[in-house]
């Protein structure tokens, strides 16, 4: 039996500058890519990533409302556009367990640490302060517990003595752009 060549439909949730979104859009345009970004949803009207979406003619929505209103509107959009996967890319809100259950599709997140270490915020400062030899990023499924879902893929980078949170963040971000694409292609192929 031949594998379908239809690209999977992705919705990306963002809150800020959208560098992972930009990378995902670029990769979704590759002929051999397995996914296409169909929808970008932000909880911030001023999110820079919305401009990338508009520039690339991707349907985008800014829903700067309560979490409940944001989730309800997002669920209706996901259903309307028949989305296969949700990717959180710099999305700075914690989705409710109700949303996770109602979505009924995989929700994937990228986190700037080697989980299970340094869940939550300020990961780079915490990694340096605790004298870790390596840091990196983790692509994982979203579960009801913060940064605790099943790990799909990790990439690591050496923390140098001269690194500070800003330089480490920059190195990890470069890894994130590769890791998210690889993780998506992997789970779609699976």
Query: Which is the catalytic residue, given 38, 111, 124, 177?
Result: 111
Residue 66 CB: number of other CB atoms within 10 A?
9
CA separation, residue 183 to residues 34, 82, 138, 140 (Å): 11, 21, 10, 9
For residue 53, the SS3 value is helix
As beta bridge partners, residue 10 has 37, 85
Residue 124 annotated as catalytic: no
3-state helix, strand, coil in the chain (%, to 5): 35, 25, 40
Task: Please check whether residue 47 is in contact with residue 20, taking contact to mean a CB–CB distance below 8 angstroms.
Answer: no
Annotated catalytic residues are 111
């Amino acid at each position: 039996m031949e594998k379908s060549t239809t690209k999977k439909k992705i919705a990306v949730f963002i809150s800020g500058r959208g560098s992972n979104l930009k990378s995902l859009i670029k990769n979704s345009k590759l002929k051999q890519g397995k996914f296409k970004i169909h929808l970008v949803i932000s909880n911030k009207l001023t999110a820079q990533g919305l401009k990338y979406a508009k520039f690339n003619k991707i349907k985008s929505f800014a829903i700067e409302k309560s979490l409940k209103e944001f989730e309800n509107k997002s669920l209706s959009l996901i259903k309307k556009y028949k989305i296969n996967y949700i990717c959180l890319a710099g999305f700075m809100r914690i989705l409710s367990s109700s949303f996770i259950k109602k979505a009924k599709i995989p929700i994937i997140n990228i986190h700037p640490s080697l989980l299970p270490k340094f869940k939550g915020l300020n990961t780079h400062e915490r990694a340096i302060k605790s004298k870790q030899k390596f840091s990196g990023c983790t692509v994982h499924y979203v579960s009801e517990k913060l940064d605790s879902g099943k790990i799909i893929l990790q990439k690591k980078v050496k923390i140098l003595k001269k690194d500070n949170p800003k330089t480490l963040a920059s190195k990890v971000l470069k890894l994130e752009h590769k890791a998210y694409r690889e993780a998506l292609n992997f789970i779609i192929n699976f």
